[in-house]
Structure 1
């Protein structure tokens, strides 16, 4: 089966993807900024799926050298890399641009945009050498031109990733390397909830929408993994929350009472 690298895979969507690739018999390289957290997840999955199926190495995606070391580690451990998923991402508190901490602005751009570019560069070089491979870049709010107050910086990074994908798909035409898009929709994670003051009126309002359109990691990631493994051409988009699904969710919201945030109190 295939070997997969997933950035930001010590928790949330990334960890869910890793678990479901392992369930499908794939070999997975876990990575995150903390080696201790990486080791913890590797130990957990090794106990479930076997130590021969999983490995891990800490990596800051804003560092080209660390990304290259991650690729080299995967090849040394599993001989090849078939799928590289750029999942690592951060967000900022929802407030106007001029109120954001300048250091935080640099940090989100370094992770959400520069990190994806640098990781894609490393993966492209390696995949061209081995003459096969897929890069999957993660969509988020702003990828489809949606805008919202307080989301200026995050949305701009995700809109840029859409351009990056389309441009790389043209650059790689005629090669054995594919660039595709992963769109998980609204998934309940620390990243999502962390943007809000959960005692605020704004949270109460947006929580209603999330309970209609959102889903858990356990629901979304098995479906995404099956879609990725079934893909064999560049330019593919695997999307969980389609327009049709969103329409049905809104139309039936009155009959399906959901509370994805019950553990928040």
Structure 2
């Protein structure tokens, strides 16, 4: 990883932070793209405490605000001449119904549309960088997801988990559609999807509520740590045998925990008509057109 430049959205906590630690230890220049600069600096300090030579930058990015996405992208391109790996990691899970600054339902707007716009803005830099990759983090929650094109903003009915599943399905479809479009235009950049299984960092954190200690202890037995949850991201970003379009997840029962492997999504997930409609809708909503 020596000399490579990597952006990790939401790299201040959870699996994003664990991936950032791993890349920094191996000589990469890691940019933590975070909504809270204070939390980003705290994460930066923790990485430096482990490795004084770590090359880490903290930059502000609010995926729920398309203007922030554009400003981040412009600032990054002014500072950096290449981008080896973009990791679309940040995510919001099951909040009460809220809209982004641009009027999108918060989970779809942040988890999918924000990353769609970010990738589009940074694609010229990715195309210029040899062997570059886009890694988009989905979830096993996508399995029960559907894209509700007639209610994307949730104004005619909202259930937090239903909309979380929708956003994670959108992540997976975007990653696959992006790879197909890159290949069709002869662009060497790879697009790969992954998911962390179920790790103890992303459970029982709904707003300010927390789980009882006994539930946390049970989860630690049956689920996996943030370090393990980050391995599919690291694998997707670095494994040289990948050719683009793969979906990486844990190899254990139900893909909830284990070592990273190439996972086969449920039959029918990659519906071509739905993928094209999602792509066209995303371009229209964000105003970002590419490929």
Fold match by TM threshold 0.5: yes
Change (3 A) 1:54 1:72: farther
Partner of 2:206: 195
Change (3 A) 1:242 1:122: farther
Q: Does 1:124 align with 2:123?
A: yes
3-state DSSP class of the match of 2:34?
Answer: coil
Task: Measure the CA separation in 2 of the matches of 1:51 and 1:74.
Answer: 22
What's the TM-score, normalizing by structure 2? 0.69
Deviation at 1:110, TM superposition (A): 1.6
Q: Does 1:35 align with 2:44?
A: no
Partner of 2:111: 112
Partner of 1:181: 193
Partner of 1:4: 6
Contact 2:92 2:107 in 1 (8 A): yes
Q: Does 1:158 align with 2:175?
A: no
More helix by share: 1
| Matched positions, count | 237
Change (3 A) 1:27 1:247: closer
Q: Which residue of 92, 95, 110 maps to 2:94?
A: 92
Deviations, residues 69-125 of structure 1 (Å, cap 9, x unaligned): 4345445555321000111111125xxxxxx53548722222112112112212323
Change (3 A) 1:245 1:177: closer
3-state DSSP class of the match of 2:62?
Answer: coil
Change (3 A) 1:74 1:132: farther
Q: Which runs of 5+ in 2 are unaligned?
A: 147-158, 259-291
Q: Which residue of 173, 179, 203 maps to 1:169?
A: 179
Deviations, residues 44-76 of structure 1 (Å, cap 9, x unaligned): 323433466111111112334433443454455
Q: Which runs of 5+ in 1 are unaligned?
A: 94-99, 249-265
Task: Measure the CA separation in 2 of the matches of 1:218 and 1:130.
Answer: 28
CA RMSD of aligned residues (A): 3.3
Task: Measure the CA separation in 1 of the matches of 2:196 and 2:117.
Answer: 22
Task: Measure the CA separation in 1 of the matches of 2:118 and 2:205.
Answer: 25
Task: Measure the CA separation in 1 of the matches of 2:211 and 2:77.
Answer: 47
What's the TM-score, normalizing by structure 1? 0.75
3-state DSSP class of the match of 1:126?
Answer: helix
Contact 1:64 1:122 in 2 (8 A): no
Deviation at 1:130, TM superposition (A): 4.0
Contact 1:140 1:183 in 2 (8 A): yes
